Amino acid sequence: MENKESISASIVQKAEIAKVVLMPGDPLRAKAVADKYMSDVVLFNDTRNMLGFTGTYKGKRISVMGHGMGVPSIGIYTQELYSQFGVEAIIRIGSAGGLDMSVNARDVVIAEAASTNSNYGNAYGIPGQLAACADFDMLEKAVNVAREKKVNARVGKVYTSDFFYYPQKGLNEKLRDFGHLCVEMETAGLYWTACANHKKALSILSISDHLFKPVALTAEERQNSFTDMMEIALDTAVAFAD
Ligand SMILES: O=P(O)(O)O[C@H]1O[C@H](CO)[C@@H](O)[C@H]1O
Ligand SMILES: O=c1cc[nH]c(=O)[nH]1
């Protein structure tokens, strides 16, 4: 793969990046995780305000960094982390809109696979579709952590959309009918990039709204109240950290 680091590096490393990185879309949520859960925190990136921090959690060095919105954005950051900064495992900690009627706001969804309308994975040249799947070891660990914490996390497939505002009617009904638990905008890109780099990835999502139910969380609640998701992700990360 072409290395464009010298002309367009999106991550300028100012401190150590850990082997395991947690990634929310919003860089301020990355700061909130570092502030709330980590000690000995150092800022390793602020290029484009895409804040990245490394700190200590339960005795292990773990990083947390924003990835922006959409597959192209998470594709840039995760490709650089895996291929240029020695990162072995990435856990997306994101928000998602509920589709399945059994899913409610603030529920946790662990994404075992992602369907998508993104064309990004076709660039890898696999005839047909490259499957966008979670790393099984990380998935199993996260499920066990959720059970230990008595969090009723749902495990299933999600839909990664290139659109937040999809311009045609009927897509959400069809996605729900085909068993997708929720919709978000990056998981397929993360899983493809991990696959292409022979690395690990998992996406853990917190339901911020529902496409078929009248619920919505404020931006402040989104940033501060996804405690279950963050703690499942952190305790999963510990198992894969040095
Ligand atoms: O909360 P984050 O992690 O950004 O995730 C969701 O929120 C954004 C849309 O509002 C998209 O990035 C979507 O995937
Ligand atoms: O991508 C997203 C995130 C939250 N809610 C949605 O409907 N879509």
Residues with CB under 6 A from ligand 1: 24-26, 69, 94-95, 164, 184-186
Residue 222 has pLDDT above 80, yes or no: no
Pocket lining: 97 vs ligand 2, CB cutoff 6 Å: yes
Mean pLDDT of the chain: 93
CA distance 44 to 34: 12
Pocket lining: 95 vs ligand 2, CB cutoff 6 Å: yes
Atom of ligand 1 nearest to the CA of 96: 6
128 is an annotated ligand-binding site residue: no
Residue whose CA is at the smallest distance from ligand 1 atom 12: 69
Residue 3 has pLDDT above 60, yes or no: no
Task: Specify the pLDDT at position 25.
Answer: 97
221 is an annotated ligand-binding site residue: no
- Rounded to 10°, the helix 71-84/187-196 angle is 30
> Once rounded to an integer, what is the mean pLDDT over residues 75-98?
97
Task: Specify the pLDDT at position 8.
Answer: 47
Pocket lining: 164 vs ligand 2, CB cutoff 6 Å: yes
Task: Quickly count: other Cβ atoms within 10 Å of residue 227's Cβ.
Answer: 14
Ligand 1 centre from 93 Cα, in Å? Answer: 9
> Once rounded to an integer, what is the mean pLDDT over residues 195-200?
98
Residues serving a catalytic function are: 209
Scored b (16 or more CB within 10 A) or e, 14-45 reads eeebbbbbbbbbbbebbbbbbeebbeebeebb
The owner of tokens 């150092």 is 42
Task: Specify the pLDDT at position 84.
Answer: 94
Task: Specify the pLDDT at position 19.
Answer: 97
- Backbone torsions φ then ψ of 177, nearest 5 degrees: -60, -35
Ligand 2 centre from 204 Cα, in Å? Answer: 14
DSSP 84: H
> Once rounded to an integer, what is the mean pLDDT over residues 128-154?
96
Confidence of residue 151 (pLDDT cuts 50, 70, 90): very high
Atom of ligand 2 nearest to the CA of 209: 5
35 is an annotated ligand-binding site residue: no
Which of 9-18, 145-154, 162-171 is predicted least confidently? 9-18
Ligand 1 centre from 70 Cα, in Å? Answer: 8
CA distance 207 to 209: 6
> Once rounded to an integer, what is the mean pLDDT over residues 75-91?
97
Tell me which residue of 179, 237, 216 sits closest to 95, measured CA to CA: 216
Which of 64-78, 110-124, 209-223 is predicted least confidently? 209-223
ipTM: 0.98
> Once rounded to an integer, what is the mean pLDDT over residues 152-173?
96
Residue 172 has pLDDT above 70, yes or no: yes
Rg (CA), the chain: 17
Task: Specify the pLDDT at position 239.
Answer: 98
Q: Are 204 and 91 in contact (CB under 8 A)?
A: yes
Task: Quickly count: other Cβ atoms within 10 Å of residue 104's Cβ.
Answer: 12
Residue whose CA is at the smallest distance from ligand 2 atom 2: 184
Residue 6 has pLDDT above 50, yes or no: no
91 is an annotated ligand-binding site residue: no
> Once rounded to an integer, what is the mean pLDDT over residues 44-59?
96
> Once rounded to an integer, what is the mean pLDDT over residues 173-177?
98
Task: Specify the pLDDT at position 225.
Answer: 53
Confidence of residue 219 (pLDDT cuts 50, 70, 90): confident
Confidence of residue 14 (pLDDT cuts 50, 70, 90): confident
Site to probe by mutation for ligand 1, drawn from 186, 202, 204, 208 as the one with most ligand atoms within 8 Å of Cβ, is: 186
Task: Specify the pLDDT at position 226.
Answer: 82
10 is an annotated ligand-binding site residue: no
